[in-house]
Amino acid sequence: MTPADVKHWNGATSNKPLVCITVTERGVDGHVVQLRPVTDEEYGFCMEENKKPATCSKLPMSTDGITRLSKIEVFPEWLEEYMKYATEVGTISLQTEPGVLTMYAVADKDNPCNITILETYSSQEAYRKHIASPHFQKYKQGTLHMVKSLVLDDVIPLNPHNQITYN
C-alpha cells in the first residue's frame, strides 16, 4: 500500500505481466495520475522494500552456456580501488543483464589480493553482450593497471541440476 501523494512505479518483466488495482480516495480530476514510463535502465536499478538491489529476470542456461572461474591477482596497493570497480560491475551486471546468471566474488582468506569470481552466463551470446556492455568496459579499462594476473578457467558443473533459480 502506498500512502497518498507518494510517487512510485509498478513494473512487469518480459515473462511476468503486471496487474495493478488502484484504490484511491481522491486523485486529480477524480483519477490517479500516471507518470512517465520508466526506462529499462531505471527498471534494472529498482529497489525492493528491504533496500537490496533488485535483479532483472534471468534467461535459462542453454547448452552453450558458460560456467567460469575468473582468478585475479591484484597489486596490493590497488586492492581497495579494484574492489570498488569489481563490486560495481557485478552489481550492475546482475541487475540489468538477463544472461548474467551468477557473479559471485570471493577473496582468499590468507591473501585478499587473490580474488576468484564464479561467473555463469546463459549462453555464448550473453557473454559477448556482457563484455561489450558499458559497465564491463568501464571495469576493464579502469582496472587494467591494477591486475597482476588473470586466468579465465571454464569449468563444468558437477551437478547441473543444482542451480540458482530466479522468480
Give pLDDT tens digits for 80-111: 999 999 999 999 999 999 999 999 999 999 99
Residue 41 lies in a domain: no
**In this structure, is residue 59 part of a structural domain?**
no
What's the confidence (pLDDT) of residue 165? 56
For range 117-141, the mean pLDDT: 96
Residue 16 bridge partners (DSSP): 13
Q: Which residue has the higher pLDDT, 92 or 165?
A: 92
- Has residue 163 got a pLDDT over 90? no
Tell me the three cell numbers of residue 69.
Answer: 572461474
Amino acid 48: pLDDT: 43
Q: What is residue 45's predicted lDDT score, i.e. its pLDDT?
A: 46
Q: How far is CA 125 from CA 71, 85, 128, in A?
A: 22, 24, 5
**For residue 60, is it within any domain?**
no
* DSSP, res 123: S
Q: Is residue 56 included in any domain, yes or no?
A: no
48 assigned to some structural domain: no
How much is the average pLDDT of 66-70?
96
Q: How many domains does the chain have?
A: 1
Residue 130 in any domain: the answer is: yes
Q: Is residue 89 in some structural domain? A: yes
Q: Are strands 100-107 and 147-154 parallel, antiparallel or unpaired?
A: unpaired
C-alpha to C-alpha distances, 13 to 38, 132, 167, nearest whole angstrom: 13, 23, 11
Q: Which domain holds residue 104?
A: 66-154
Query: Phi/psi of residue 141, each to 5°?
Result: -70, -35
Tell me, what CATH number does 149's domain have? 3.30.70.100
Tens of pLDDT, residue by residue over 19-56, are: 555 555 555 555 566 666 656 555 554 444 444 556 78
Mean pLDDT of the chain: 80
85 domain residue, yes or no: yes
